């Protein structure tokens, strides 16, 4: 069950959390900003960290292994001249 402290109605009577009460509370700009800084921004930072590229064993990165064998000798330069195009 959800609980919160220090939240009440106009008379100061504590109220239970509900979707309507949460919406009304977040309509108050300083409370919205505090909630965003304390909870939302931390979640966004964690999500952003997951988007970093880790070394891939099969991709173009530092952790990739070579999959092709080295060439035995250098390739010859291509001929110049007319092409079939």
pLDDT of 40 reads 84
- Average pLDDT score over residue span 45-63: 61
pLDDT of 69 reads 81
pTM of the model: 0.44
Q: Over the stretch 3-47, which tens digit does the pLDDT of each residue have? A: 788 888 889 888 888 899 889 888 999 988 988 888 888 877 777
Query: HEC profile for 40-76?
Result: HHHHHHHHHHHCCCCCCCCCCCCCCCCCCCCCCCCCC
Tokens 């060439």 belong to residue: 71
Which has more pLDDT, 56 or 8? Answer: 8
Q: What are the extents of the domains in the chain? A: 19-50
Distant-in-sequence, close-in-space partners of 11: CB < 8 Å, separation ≥ 6: none
The count of other CB atoms within 10 Å of the CB of residue 58 is 9
Sign of CA dihedral 23, 49, 60, 64: negative
């Amino acid at each position: 069950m959800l609980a919160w402290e220090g939240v009440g109605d106009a008379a100061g009577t504590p109220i239970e959390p509900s979707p309507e009460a949460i919406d009304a509370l977040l309509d108050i700009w300083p409370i919205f900003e505090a909630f965003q800084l304390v909870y939302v921004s931390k979640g966004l930072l964690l999500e952003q960290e997951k988007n970093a590229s880790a070394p891939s064993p099969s991709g173009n990165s530092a952790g990739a292994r070579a999959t092709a064998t080295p060439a035995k000798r250098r390739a010859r330069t291509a001929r110049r001249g007319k092409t079939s195009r």
